[in-house]
Structure formats: C-alpha cells, structure tokens
Chains A and B, each alone.
Chain A
Amino acid sequence: MKLEAFLDSVQGAYQRAPAEDVARAHIAALAEAARSIRSEAPAAFRKRRLVLAIAAAFAAVLTLLAGLAFAGVITWHDPFGSLLRINPSSQTQSSFWREFEHRYAIVNSGGSIPKAPVPNSGSVNQARQNGEADHGHQHGDRPEHHGDHANQKPPHGDSPDNPGGGNCQIPNDVSPCLPSPTQQP
C-alpha cells in the first residue's frame, strides 16, 4: 500500500461531520456563548479601566513623593527606630515620654542616640548612675567573687590607655560615651 493511499484512508476513516442534531446544538451553543461574552465585555472593560486608573493614581502619588524627597523638599525621620530600643515595661509612662522627648530632641539636632541598655537592666543602669560596680553576677557565682571589681581591671569597653574613660562598646560610635561605672560623680 502506498503512503498517499494510506493518508487518504486515514482522512476518510476519521473525518466525518458530527451528527446533525449534535451539530445544531453545538452551533446554537457557540452563538449563544459569543453573544453572552459580547454583552459582558463592556462591563469587564469598565472594571479593568477603573482598576488601571486607581493603580496609575497611586503610582503618580508615590512618584511625586519620591521626587519631593529626592529634591530635598520633604525628609524622612525615623525617631521610632531608636525608641524601639527602650523597654517601656521598666519605666513609668511619664519617664517613657520624657525619654522620648529627650531622644527626639537629639535626633532633631543631628546627634545620635547612644546604645540602649539591654532589656530588664534598669536596676543595673541605676546602679551605674550611683557609681556602683557592675557585677553582672548570676546565681551560682562563688561568694568570693562578690565585690567591687572596679579596682582590678577596667570595665568592658574601656580603652586600655584611658581606663574609666567611658563605656564605649561600639568602635566607630561617635556619640558621647556613657559614664563608666568607675567614674565617680
């Protein structure tokens, strides 16, 4: 059998029109679906246009803000970034807001805020302010280790050639250092 005859027979064997009633039903359904889609199209177009308009307006506002910020007309401050380091639970509400105003004033004047104390260290901070040594001891410490270590070695963060000069724990920190526990008032 030749290839041509085979291909003819393939077409002849399989290519048949659907039954007449099936064809009529299909055609009617197709026309109906096309009409339905056509009637829905304007509403869908309006909806899409509205979404696009909102998106364009939002993008325009963002662009305007970015442009103003770039030109220096508006600036962005983030005082809360530093405030987040304060542990409000260790302070009364009024002292919290005093601290807030103090730090906000520093940020506004171009300074930077010193590193905040670790959480739950309010008592330790208080002790430092009173000139006491920072033991840092925990339960289980040997009794002979209790006492003032300030005379034995400089506290953490002190420079070897400037003992007691300050508690500068960040090498590149240009802010004024906190008073060292060894510094007496």
Chain B
Amino acid sequence: MEKIRDFETTLKAALRGEEQAWASIYNEYAPKVLGYLRARMAPDPEDLLSETLMQVVRDLARFKGNEDAFRSWLFTVAHHRMLDDARYRARRPQIAADEEALAGEAAGNAETEAIDSLTEQEIQTILARLPDEQQTVLLLRVFAGMTAPQIAEAMGKTVGAVKALQHRASQRLRQVLGDPGSEEAERVFSLRGVAMHTETT
C-alpha cells in the first residue's frame, strides 16, 4: 500500500481545513474506498464515499494513530455506512423517479464503460459465489490491505472468525477459478501483503 508522505503533517493540516491536505488524503484513499464500495455492489458508491469522508471529517479530531490505523478506520467507516445504506434501502422501496434517473445515467455512460462492464460482470459472477461475509473479508484485504484484527474490528467479529472466513473464501475462489492447491492461494495473498494463517497482528 502506498503511503502519504509525512502523514502526521497532512493530518494536522487537514484538521485546520487546508484544501491541499484533503486533496492528498482524497487522492490516496477515495479510489480505494470507491473500489471497495463498487465491488460490494453498493447502489450509490459515490454518495457513500462522500458520506464516509464527511464522517471522517467530523471525527478526525478524536482520531489517534498512524496511517495504517487511519486507513483501517476509514474502511471501517465505509463498511458501516454501506451496511446502514443497505438496511435503509431494504426498509424503503426505491421510488420510480430514482430508477429512471439511474437508467438515464447508465445509458449515458454505456459507451465509455462497455469494455469494463463486461469484466465487472464476470468478476461479479465469481464474487457472487462467495457468501456476503467472505466477500467483505476478501475485498477489505484487496482494497484496504487491512490485517485480520483490523477486519475483525470493522466487522465486529473475532480474529479467528475472520481468518476462517478468509480461508474459506480463498478455498472457494480456488475451486471456482480452477487454481492449484491452497498453498498457492496463500502465497498469492502473502504476495499482496496479506498474510493468512500465520499472521498474529
């Protein structure tokens, strides 16, 4: 994972409301958070990103920690926002105007995203074979590079449960992709800065 140069200074400047500092944080993390939200098929990922960052602004004065902790906190907020949004949408059926607006937007972007959407469809089909919690663990690993304890905190689970979920997710994906044994899968995770079973922190 890339890091912001002199993170502490950037954070202090962000607390003072300096636009440059926020641009630095935004450019580093917004694409990753947006990627996570898109991969989880959040209905309005950019809106959720905006809400997530606004909550970060509100609570930033109380934040203490380094950049790793900040990234973990940011994705935890995004994850919770996404769950809140899903619950809200489950309670309130979408109104027709929303659907029309979305349909119009989709038509407008269709040409530019034609190639990507095919890939996304394939990826989504594969990801959809994983249960919801396994998807969460896998995607937090991929987009945020969060450790098992960090994911456990974000999901409100034990570290052991998160490791088990991750193990099952990699096994399942390996089966779907026709990948060789689990050792290979674990090597792939570790190459991406994601240790699986040996990780203790």
**Cβ–Cβ < 8 Å partners of A10 in chain B:** 39, 123, 127, 139, 142
Answer whether residue A68 sits at the interface, using C-beta atoms and an 8 A cutoff: no
Contact B46 A22 (CB under 8 A): yes
**Cβ–Cβ < 8 Å partners of B30 in chain A:** 17-18, 23, 26
Partner of A34, one of B36, B57, B188: B57
Partner of A31, one of B22, B123, B139: B22
Query: Closest B-chain residue to A36, C-beta based?
Result: B17
**Cβ–Cβ < 8 Å partners of B17 in chain A:** 31-36, 38
> Which residue among A1, A14, A28 has the maximum number of chain B CB atoms within 10 Å of its CB?
A14
Answer whether residue B91 sits at the interface, using C-beta atoms and an 8 A cutoff: no
Which range holds the interface residue count of chain A? 20 to 34
Bitwise interface map of B from 34 to 75 toward A, beta carbon under 8 Å scored 1, else 0: 111011000000100110011001101100000000000000
Contact B188 A3 (CB under 8 A): yes
Query: Closest B-chain residue to A25, C-beta based?
Result: B50
Query: Closest A-chain residue to B30, C-beta based?
Result: A18
Contact B61 A41 (CB under 8 A): yes
**Cβ–Cβ < 8 Å partners of A14 in chain B:** 34-36, 38-39, 120, 123, 143
Answer whether residue B158 sits at the interface, using C-beta atoms and an 8 A cutoff: no
Complex: A33 Cα to B126 Cα, angstroms: 40
Report A147 CB to chain B, min CB distance, Å. 77
Query: Closest A-chain residue to B119, C-beta based?
Result: A13
Query: Closest B-chain residue to A5, C-beta based?
Result: B177
Which one of B82-90, B93-101, B149-157, B178-186 is at the interface? B178-186
Answer whether residue A65 sits at the interface, using C-beta atoms and an 8 A cutoff: no
| Chain A residues near B (Cβ < 8 Å) | 1-4, 6-7, 9-18, 22-23, 26-38, 41
